[in-house]
Structure 1
Amino acid sequence: MRMLRTSPVRILGERDRAEVMALLDADPVGNVFVSSRLRTAGLDPGRLGAELWGYVERGRITALCYAGANLVPVNAGPDAIRHFAEHARWQGRRCSSIVGPIPAVEDLWARLTPYWGPARAIRARQPVLEISGPPLVEPDPLVRRVRVEELGVLVPACVAMFTEEVGVPPDSGDGGALYRARVEELVRTGRAFARIEEGRVVFKAEVGAVTPQVCQVQGVWVHPELRGRGHSLGGMAAVVRMALAEIAPRVTLYVNDYNAAARATYARVGFREVGAVMSVLF
């Protein structure tokens, strides 16, 4: 008689919160995105708009995989990745990217490539940077929080940044309604920063993920006509100063390894490299 195999992967819920958060808090910088989402929306898939998969060994959850618009493995070794890949393959691709620690994403993508490939782009190494003290350069005094009435100015800059970085516009599916709503949420919660002059965004950045320990900067952008003038240096220093004072005691971000100019800017501001991730984009 054939034995039925029980998968060690299960969809987690609120009853697992304490165990999940302890696992995420073991690496607050590396897990800031997933931790922020769960702290905001909870673990119930209906509210979260995603599933959180747990890999269970001897009754304990030892690895996670956030399965939403992004597929994000957490603390996942080879055995967990193998089972997460099987689950993802069975479910079918629902994500627009796979993001996480390089060994885990390399293994996961190798297992999924025959079924999900080819990828539109692969960012094989993206250094993770962190700063927890005052910036090393003078902040730009004209960088401030964006006001709600300035959404019409900010959104086009956000779309331009996203398209430049990812390679496709964020508003192609629904005319931009969801993306605009996300930008508006960041503005209303005081997490969108910019230097705006005469109705034009000179510099901008947002704080996307937030936990009590860490916040993550995203969307750093300088208007193409104004690059090379130091706006990103003073702008990032201003964002770091405000974020450390009012949002979280540590500020992190990740950057493409080939973006030498951005990496040099972040180093001058005072960021240090603390890890690296890999991204597979669809």
Structure 2
Amino acid sequence: MARWRPSVPALRPRAGSDARELSDADVPEALAVCATDPVGSVLAAARLEVALRVGLRAAGGHAWGFPAQGPLEAVCWAGANLVPVVPPTLDDAGRRAALVGFAAFAHRAGRRSSSIVGEREAVLALWGVLAETWPAPREVRADQPSLAIDRAPDVDPDPSVRRSTVAEVPVVLPACVRMFTEEVGYSPVEGGGRAYEERVRSLVAAGRSFVRLAGSGAGSHVVFKAELGAVTDRVAQVQGVWVDPRYRGRGLAAPGMAAVVSLARATPPGSSVRPPVVSLYVNDYNSRALATYRRVGFEQVGTFATVLF
């Protein structure tokens, strides 16, 4: 995954800044801020949990905190994505000060993240400040219901959906590229780089890629797929849900998602580890997907927004 993450220069706050750059010693406190909303903060918390193990530099980004002095009240992860985490317990003045402080860091770094994503109010407010200096985005997705399930699904899981294997990466990768291109509007492998392939391979190797395959040998292909794109000790966020267009309309999505929920929440017999909440977010206009997820048992717990560059 080393090539997948951007290079973010070291920053120092200006005199009087409302925010500060966090060090490795601050990571546990930053995670405590994220714990106030485990589903809403999962994208930031997943990277911070990596930083807790290997350090911020090795985790591929920076973390900023608010206020500049004293206990942390808000944090922002700056890496492949810019993810503000501003708990609702902060009053309006505090939220504004935190986001202006984060924007000051982001402004001086320049636009290095591929998106600003997270809880809707924080994302749109942060973008409102950065829009004065950052280039125009390709798209702003301002209403993305955040859904979660913390129990067995309401639909019987598809028994053909399973974790993919590293040997199947040549079959899984084309499906991932097609999904990404459909969803975002461009191919993630344009230019010949291998960063996206490495990302897919790492998810497969980690047991976070789920597929249903059809055919055999050279004719094998993905019918349904999904990944756990962000995982913490409390939440597993599903990303990249896709059904091959040739198989759409056959009722595969709901059982497939039920299988992903069941597999993601499975724990070894006798394990003391609690099953994670499984979450995802989806564009509000994707009524078919929303209906599918609700049929499986997902319920809306918040709203995300994404600013895509």
**Would you say same fold, with TM above 0.5?**
yes
RMSD: 1.6
Structure 2 match to 1:152: 170
| Post-superposition offset of 1:113 | 1.3
Is structure 2 residue 43 aligned with structure 1 residue 50? Answer: no
Question: Does the 8 Å contact 1:137/1:237 carry over to 2?
Answer: yes
1:244 lines up with 2:271 in the alignment: no
Secondary structure of 1:164's partner? Answer: helix
Q: Secondary structure at the match of 2:25?
A: helix
Asked if residue 171 in structure 1 is aligned to residue 193 in structure 2, the reply is no
Determine if the alignment matches structure 1 residue 109 to structure 2 residue 110.
Answer: no
What's the counterpart of residue 15 of structure 1?
Answer: 25
Q: Please tell me the residue identity of whatever aligns with 1:126.
A: Q
Q: Distance in 1 between matches of 2:28 and 2:247?
A: 47
Deviation at 1:57, TM superposition (A): 5.5
Deviation at 1:242, TM superposition (A): 0.8
Q: Which moved more, 1:76-85 or 1:262-271?
A: 76-85
Per the TM alignment, residue 92 of structure 1 is displaced from its structure 2 partner at its CA by: 1.2
Q: Distance in 1 between matches of 2:31 and 2:51?
A: 13
Counterpart amino acid of residue 247 in structure 2: L
Aligned length: 278
Aligned positions of 1:184-199 closer than 5 A: 184-198=201-215, 199=220
Give unpaired runs (5+ residues) of structure 1.
Answer: none
Q: State the one-letter code of the partner of 1:14.
A: D
Deviation at 1:78, TM superposition (A): 1.0
Cα deviation, residue 101, structure 1: 1.6
Task: Give the distance between the partners of 1:189 and 1:91, measured in 2 at CA.
Answer: 31
Deviations 1:12-33 (A, max 9, x none): 1111122112111111111111
Q: TM-score, with normalisation over the residues of structure 1?
A: 0.94
**1:114-150 deviations in whole A, cap 9, x for unaligned?**
2113210110110000001111111111111111111
Amino acid at match of 2:153: P
Shift of 1:250: 0.9
TM, length-normalised to structure 2: 0.86
* Mean CA deviation greater in 85-94 or 120-129: 85-94
Please tell me whether residue 220 in structure 1 is matched to residue 230 in structure 2. no
On the 8 A contact 1:105/1:278 being kept in 2, the answer is yes
- CA gap 1:17/1:86 in 2 versus in 1, 3 angstroms: closer
Contact 1:205/1:220 (CA < 8 Å) preserved in 2?
A: yes
Q: Quick one: distance in 2 between partners of 1:176 and 1:133?
A: 40
Contact map agreement 1:211 1:248 (CA 8 A) in 2: no
Structure 1 residue aligned with 2:289: 262
The share of aligned pairs that are identical, in percent, is 51
Deviations 1:136-182 (CA, angstroms, capped at 9, x unpaired):
11111111111111110000000000111111211124x24111111
What amino acid does structure 2 have at the position aligned with 1:197? A
Residue 238 of structure 1, CA deviation: 0.6
Secondary structure of 1:278's counterpart equals: strand
Report the Cα offset of residue 249 of structure 1.
Answer: 2.5
Q: 2:92 matched to which residue of 1?
A: none
Give the distance between the partners of 1:222 and 1:195, measured in 2 at CA: 9
C-alpha change, 1:57 and 1:86, in structure 2 (3 Å) is closer
* SS across alignment from 2:117: strand
CA contact under 8 A between 1:63 and 1:80: conserved in structure 2? yes
1:256 alignment partner AA: N
Greater mean deviation of Cα atoms: 120-129 or 57-66: 57-66
Residue 86 of structure 1 and its aligned partner are, at CA, apart by 2.0
